[in-house]
Amino acid sequence: MLETSYPNFEPSAGYMTESVQRAYISKGIENNILPKEAHRMPEILSLVASNDLQKPIQFWQLFSVLGQNNIVRIVQKFYDRVYKDEPWFTSVFARIGDASHHMRTQASMWIDVMGGGFFYHGAEFRLNFHHQHNAFEIMNAKGAERWLKLMIETLDESEQYMTNDSRVRTSINTFLTHFMDKYMLDFGFQMDELFAPTNKPIIRKINFLNMTDAAIEDLSEIELREGLVGRGVNLEKLIDKAELVRIAKNL
């Protein structure tokens, strides 16, 4: 069985780490991927990956596992593919700079977001400016589909840079999906399939016996159902939220 002792590399927040972390957590709470108190949970906020293999690695914890060299190698392999691809796609990158230029800037952004410290000068402003003014020709469904295809191929061939912890690939998928979701919203395009698998929802263990009636009523229907099922309550029948609250109060 795999045993880990993270951090392998000492992490620190960069220009983008905390702002991207906040955005992801807010969206995760909204989509019931993360619990409501995720903004206050040390295991989520930490820049060090958990050594409990049952817990996901958040993408801002990836530097603590991979370090700089492994992240750079993955990005380098990606741009090797980009510059060997079809001219309509490659030309957009080539007008800005050569493969080494893109590798340096992309790797700096990855390292910064993933907890490797101050690498990506300009932060979100620089990233947004780049996509709106330099790469706008491929910020659409066709360009995103090609980018996604090349990145998946890169990740499939980069296992040697991801350690033996299977959570790393899932965390990278989560990182890429988060940013692709942002670009789809910013540039008004849609893609049905993204990177998979991504981190599973973190389910808070709920002890109804220690909660006030008001706190129970404040839980979402999903939280109520998961908490009741965890206590062995049979919810096979269709039950509305009011009935779930009643059951939880009567435990």
Residue 162 pLDDT greater than 80, yes or no: yes
pLDDT at 6: 98
Residue 76 pLDDT greater than 90, yes or no: yes
Provide the 10 A C-beta neighbour count for residue 167.
24
Mean of pLDDT values over 9-25: 98
- Pick from 202, 223, 220, 226: which is nearest to 44 by CA? 202
pLDDT at 88: 95
> What residues does 12 pair with on adjacent strands?
116
Q: What values do phi and psi take at 166, rounded to 5? A: -65, -20
pLDDT tier at 171, thresholds 50, 70, 90: very high
**Domain 17-187 belongs to what architecture?**
Orthogonal Bundle (1.10)
What is the average pLDDT score of the chain?
93
Please write down the long-range contacts of 31-39, taking CB distance under 8 Å and 24 or more positions apart.
Answer: 32/201, 32/220, 32/222, 33/199, 33/201, 33/202, 34/201, 34/202, 35/202, 35/203, 35/204, 35/223, 37/204, 38/202
For the four alpha carbons of 50, 56, 61 and 63, in that order, the dihedral sign comes to positive
% of the chain beyond a pLDDT of 70: 100
pLDDT at 156: 98
SS3 201: coil
pLDDT at 207: 82
pLDDT at 177: 97
SS (H, E, C) 15-49: CCHHHHHHHHHHHHHHCCCCCCCHHHCHHHHCCCC
Residue-wise pLDDT for 107-131, tens only, equals 999 999 999 999 999 999 999 989 9
pLDDT at 203: 73
Residue 246 pLDDT greater than 80, yes or no: yes
Residue-wise pLDDT for 172-224, tens only, equals 999 999 999 999 999 999 998 899 999 999 877 788 888 899 988 988 887 78
pLDDT at 189: 96
- Return d(Cα 19, Cα 21) in angstroms, integer: 5
Mean of pLDDT values over 81-94: 96
17: left (phi over 0), alpha (psi -120 to 50) or beta: alpha
Q: Residue 180 corresponds to which tokens in the numbers above?
A: 């692709």
Mean of pLDDT values over 4-9: 98
70-84, 146-160, 186-200, 223-237 — which is least confidently predicted?
223-237
pLDDT at 228: 87
Q: Residue 30 corresponds to which tokens in the numbers above?
A: 């909204």
Q: What values do phi and psi take at 116, rounded to 5? A: -100, 5
Helices 99-113 & 17-30, crossing angle to 10 degrees? 70
pLDDT at 223: 79
